[in-house]
């Protein structure tokens, strides 16, 4: 892949996060019709409607990604992104807490031409560390 195509895909990924942060339904316009989505606990979804369904199920009032701080790498048709996110749930709980929840995530995007054909998200879906049994089992603080 040439540098121009790689730069264009990096910009598409940044635009993806901007649209997610705005809750912009046009997010699906930068995805293929048969886009594959994977999110922890949600599992796999296929098609643009799966993106809207995940957004509904996440039950977030607000989400914000540190777009300027994203670490973006390219490998063939994949763009790998590591970054930080924060937000507020619909019931008013802010995250991350900076103690257990750090707001770290990694997304792997696969492209078909200029469009995103796969979005695999790797994050802890327990944004507010409310799953205390597992936190107590695993946390070493």
Q: In this structure, what CATH number is given to the domain that contains residue 10?
A: 3.10.450.50
Would you say residue 125 has pLDDT above 80?
no
Please tell me whether residue 83 adopts helix, strand or coil conformation.
Answer: strand
Range of the structural domain that residue 32 is part of: 3-138
100 — pLDDT class (breaks 50, 70, 90): confident
Largest CA distance in the chain: 48
3-16: pLDDT as tens digits: 999 999 999 999 99
Q: Which pLDDT score is estimated for 140? A: 60
Q: What is the mean pLDDT of residues 113-129?
A: 89
* Share above pLDDT 70 across residues of the chain, in percent, rounded to a whole number: 91
The DSSP bridge pattern shows strands 31-39 and 115-123 to be parallel
What is the chain's length? 141
The DSSP bridge pattern shows strands 78-89 and 94-95 to be antiparallel
**Total number of domains constituting the chain:** 1
Q: Which pLDDT score is estimated for 7? A: 95
Alpha-carbon distance of 61 to 48, in angstroms, equals: 21
127 burial class (0-12, 13-18, 19+ CB within 10 angstroms)?
buried
Scanning 2-110, the segments in alpha helix (DSSP H) are 3-22, 48-58
The model's pTM: 0.91
Distance of CA 83 to the CA centre of its chain: 9
């Amino acid at each position: 892949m040439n540098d121009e195509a790689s730069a264009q895909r990096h910009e598409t990924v940044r635009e993806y996060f901007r649209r997610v942060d705005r809750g912009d339904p046009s997010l699906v316009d930068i995805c293929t019709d048969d886009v594959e989505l994977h999110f922890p606990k949600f599992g796999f979804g296929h098609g643009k409607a799966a993106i809207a369904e995940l957004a509904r199920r996440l039950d977030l009032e607000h989400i914000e990604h540190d777009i300027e701080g994203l670490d973006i790498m390219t490998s063939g048709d994949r763009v790998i992104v590591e970054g930080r996110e924060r937000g507020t749930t619909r019931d008013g709980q802010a995250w991350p807490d900076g103690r257990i929840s750090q707001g770290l995530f990694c997304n792997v995007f696969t492209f078909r031409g200029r469009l995103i054909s796969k979005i695999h998200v790797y994050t802890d879906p327990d944004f507010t560390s409310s799953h205390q049994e597992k936190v107590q089992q695993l946390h070493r603080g």
